[in-house]
Amino acid sequence: MDWKVKIKVMLKKSILDPQGQAVEDGLEALGYNNVSEVKVGKHLELSIEDVATEEELEEQVEEMCERLLANPVIEDYTFQVEEMEG
């Protein structure tokens, strides 16, 4: 089966996010005073072919995240999978 995967990589909660802070300041400068806790992360989309079950797929995506797509020292990741319409 073929799958569409969406992965979100964010800095861990405990890690200071200077980009998020800068965006927050920018929004405030535009008058949005009710915004807080801005975080900037990465969004990846990819297609994966020939994986039989969702379980198997999740295992592969997790491995890819741990090895390359996220840096476990400072980043967390979450992902969604979706079967591709044939």
Partner 1 sequence: MKFGVVTFPGSNCDQDCYHVAAEVLNKPTDMVWHKDKQDLSEYDCLILPGGFSYGDYLRTGAIARFSPIMESVIEYAEAGGLVIGICNGFQILLEAGLLPGAMKVNDSLKFVCDYTKLEVVNDDTPFTNRCNSGDILEIPVAHGEGNYHIDEEGLAELIANQQIVVRYLSEEENPNGSVDNIAGICNQERNVFGLMPHPERCSESILGNGSTDGYQIFASIVEYLSKRGEECGE
Determine contact, residues 76/70, Cβ cutoff 8 Å. Answer: yes
Residue 65 burial (CB < 10 Å; 0-12/13-18/19+)? buried
Residues paired with residue 81 on neighbouring β-strands, in sequence order: 5
CA dihedral 47, 50, 53, 59 (to 10 degrees): -60
Taking the complex as a whole, the smallest distance from the CB of residue 32 to partner 1 amounts, in Å, to: 20
Choosing from 74, 78, 82, 83, the residue that interacts with partner 1 (CB under 8 A) is 74
Whichever of 51 and 69 has its CB closer to partner 1, that residue is 69
Residue of 54, 62, 63, 71 that binds partner 1 (CB under 8 A): 71
Nearer to partner 1, 29 or 52 (CB): 29
Site string for partner 1, 25-64 (x = CB under 8 A): -----------------x----------------------
- Any idea what DSSP says for residue 67? I
